[in-house]
Structure 1
Amino acid sequence: MKVAYLMNTYPLPSTTFIRREIEALEHLGCRIRRYAIRAWPQALVDPRDRAEATATHYLLTRNLAGLLAAALLEAGLNPLGLARSLRPWMRLARAARNGWVRPVAYLLQAAYLRRRAAAEGIDHIHVHFATNAATVAMLARRMGGPSYSFTTHGPDEFEAPERFGFAEKIAHAQFVVAISEYCRDRLAGLARPEDAAKIRVARCGLALEEFAPPQPPRADNRTFVCVGRLCPAKAQAAIPAAVAALRWRYPDLKVILIGDGESRAEVEAACRRHDVADRVILHGWASNAEVRDRIAASRALLLPSLAEGLPVVIMEAFALGRPVVSTRVAGIPELLDDSCGWLIPPGDVRALMRAMESALSAAPDALAARGAVGRERVERLHDRRLLAGTLIGLFREADAKNRAALAGRRAAGRLPAAELLDTP
């Protein structure tokens, strides 16, 4: 079975978990072709991400001629398939409410993807996130392309779910992956009742061999690390106020922010306003190895998010034996509790300050005990080998269904190239 992965933008610093997933599948013998709609426009820091970019085929980036040619060929050689894609395309375009330029682009990309997948012998396409790329995979399927599935993470997908056509995408998918029980419950509420059984939980995984637990933090270690895109949902702009409230008691307190994004100016302004620019350090993006080193050298991970799915960086901190301060949102409480960190209400700066103070005053052995609980938890739930095994099983189920349906069409005298599998 030959599987393709399709992403919206890939690779980028926040998609390390997808790369790890693909690597684990390939280790089990699954052949993976990487597709993405567009390339990340900034320089990639991690060398493994740069290698992934070289191995990825882009549908939209520098490919206008290919898109137009594919659409013309589909219109001439596969008019039935193109026609079958138009009704769901119209429904999704109306639901998105963002004009017609992007929906037309999705249709062109779907035509190109269908033809590319046929030329490369792709049996199944798996998508990460239920947004643009899932739309393209579904339309390609309706045109006669491979079956597809997708993984949903949140939180962006659930902010205005009616705009993403979840019910339609789930109906035509072979299966859907949720990264947490919370995510599965949200998806089940968006799917048709008869499609709820398609939703499976498969938790994101780490390459645990890259995360040997270091020594416990020293008593004089007063450094927190916060990793993630600088954006309103991650709420890094709340950190300077908490640091300012603690700086007199802990004059050597520091918070290192790894990442960048649209909230950088807001975070810098908050640092100046609270006079903590020398204590809240904006590091920018870093390689995977440097992120691991920074977390290992910290006292604890700090993640005061207002909205999340289930952050992989929490898993990374636990794998390195570090406790975590984070918020009670989405899937985070499924991994983090008081035995391995501090769980606080989102948007509560006072609670954030109190949790940081508790971490700062905890003895090294108490911090190590919390970190050990976290390490055991990720070993049990978030080993990428477990994830890859689950996905391989789901891909095989999809392949068996495809083969059975193909055999049925052949027995009925229907030409596989001209007909789609019967779908809802």
Structure 2
Amino acid sequence: MSSDGNNRSGSIAYLTNQYPMTSHSFIRREIAALEERGTRIVRYSVRSTTGSLLDPRDRAESERTDSILDHPGGMLGSALTTLLGKPLRTFRALALAIRLGKRSRTGVLKHLIYLAEACWFANHARRQGVDHVHVHFGTNSATVALLSKVLGGPRYSMTCHGPEEFDYPLEIALREKIHEARFVVGVSSFGRSQLYRWCDHEEWPKIGVVHCGLDDHYLNDDTRRPYHDRRFVCLGRLCEQKGQILLVQAVGALRRRGVAVELVLVGDGEMRPQIEKLIRDEGLHDSVQITGWQNGDQVSEWLQDCRAMVLPSFAEGLPVAIMEALALRRPVISTYIAGIPELVDASCGWLVPAGSIEALGDALHDCLSRREDELERMGNVGAERVRRRHDVRKEARTLSSLLGLSAESDRPALEPAK
């Protein structure tokens, strides 16, 4: 990648659809690492976070984050001011919003709201001295950044995580967003390859990889706890794509074979009622526990008090939960999809076909049969791999370089795919 440098002509804005969130700690770490390098970051969220934030670091971030939809009057006033002051740009952005809305899954009206949000954001970012905005996720917030740019707002770049961006690339106008962005990064090599699919070959040089990273809380943790004799932990939102339903079924199959096994599901989500019903139907109330959302310290505690972390996902980017488990020397059982095989292999875990209850159960059983020294060896390999590849300071250095170039030249220089 290009040489190190910060955006010296103004501040950097971070824009996400909803921030902070319990599941978005990687954004908080990335912002902190950039600020540690001397970059001023102005935080924006399209929507404010609903519900309570468990982690005090997230609560502190919430106090520093401006949510666009908290300013409905300002959005209307900004739209009128923009129309009067920049009529040509406004009509160009309006035409784009209508065109994108017609082929989207959310419709034209929603995109007109995005346009009003973009008017407010462009005006507020200018008053804050922002000349570049970095967006996490290529969905709603990237639409706001795109429309803001058309209105004369700051240039933008984005990190695409997957799988949402790659499930509906046409509906979210991924090609247009890549074309207008100064640079785009995936969080894995797989993610970069999917971005390649949705842009012209001539634009490949501005697409790269910046991994999600961990901070010293994980990377410097030298705790060496014994591996639990039968407990597995699954960390993540309770939803279809994470595959927890199949994991509960695999645990049920092991129990029927007389295998002593426990499962703790750390997280919450829309599929919790179905999972709870399955636990009751399978008679697993003494074997499977759902904790709900936990703060960062609680997550670390659960990971250190298990045998292995399990994530049987059907669709992913590259889960931060896997990095956290490996950093704490816990082997990982997951599926060989998306970016997961870039981090997990037989030296630090098990990879199984997505959707296979039998293969998942076999991996759980194999893990239960391993000696303590075997698990420790796997844990050490995983921890070292995460330290080399997912140190947030190293990744922030790469991103800082790109952000600096994006403000000073027409195209940042990303190293070619290897």
Q: Shorter-chain TM-score: which interval?
A: over 0.9
Given that 1:230 and 1:236 are in contact with CA atoms closer than 8 Å, whether structure 2 keeps it comes out as yes
Alignment match of 1:152 (pick from 152, 156, 160): 160
CA distance in 2, matches of 1:10, 1:250: 45
Equivalent in 77, 81, 102 of residue 69 of structure 1? 77
Q: CA deviation at 1:222?
A: 1.1
Taking the TM superposition and a 5 Å limit, the aligned residue runs for 1:247-396 are: 247=255, 252-396=260-404
Name 2:143's counterpart in structure 1.
135
Q: How far apart are residue 198 of structure 1 and its match?
A: 1.1
Could you say which residue in structure 1 is the equivalent of 2:193?
Answer: 185
Gaps of 5+ in 2: 1-9, 413-418
Cα pair 2:352 2:359 within 8 Å, conserved: yes
Query: 1:381 corresponds to which letter in structure 2?
Result: R
**Identity of matched residues, %:** 45
> Distance between the aligned counterparts of 1:157 and 1:139, measured in 2?
18
**Given the alignment of the two structures, is residue 57 of structure 1 paired with residue 66 of structure 2, yes or no?**
yes
Q: Give structure 1 regions of 4+ aligned residues with deviation exceeding 3 angstroms.
A: 208-211, 248-252
2-structure distance, mates of 1:402, 1:66: 32
Residue 23 of structure 1, CA deviation: 0.5
Q: Report if aligned partners of 2:12, 2:131 keep a CA contact under 8 Å in 1.
A: yes
Note closer, same or farther for the CA distance 1:284–1:156 as it changes in structure 2 (3 Å cut). same
What SS does structure 1 have at the residue aligned with 2:224? Answer: coil
For 1:86, what is the secondary structure of its paired residue? helix
1:46 aligned residue: 55
Output the CA distance in 1 between the equivalents of 2:355 and 2:131: 45
For normalisation by structure 2, the TM-score amounts to: 0.93
CA–CA distance in 2 between the matches of 1:302 and 1:6?
Answer: 31
Give a deviation string over 1:344-371, Cα, whole Å, max 9, x none: 0001001110000011110011001111
SS at match of 1:35: strand
Give the drift of 1:88: 2.6
Amino acid at match of 2:276: E
Is 2:89 aligned against 1:81?
yes
Gaps of at least 5 residues in structure 1 are: 405-424
Q: Where does residue 8 of structure 1 map in the other structure?
A: 17
- Change in Cα spacing, 1:170 to 1:287, as seen in structure 2 (3 Å) is same
Per-residue deviation, 1:298: 0.8
Query: Retained in 2: the 8 A contact 1:216–1:321?
Result: no
Number of corresponding residues: 402
Matched, 1:30 2:42: no
Counterpart contact for 1:213–1:319, Cα < 8 Å: no
Once the two structures are superposed, residues 132-165 of structure 1 have per-residue CA deviations (whole angstroms, 9 ceiling, x without a partner) of 0000001101111111000000011111211011
Contact 1:117 1:145 (C-alpha < 8 Å) held by counterparts:
yes
TM-score between the two structures when normalised by the length of structure 1? 0.92
Which stretch of structure 1 is more off in the superposition, 138-147 or 73-82? 73-82
Which AA in structure 2 matches 1:308?
Answer: E
Structure 1 residue matching 2:315: 3-state secondary structure:
coil
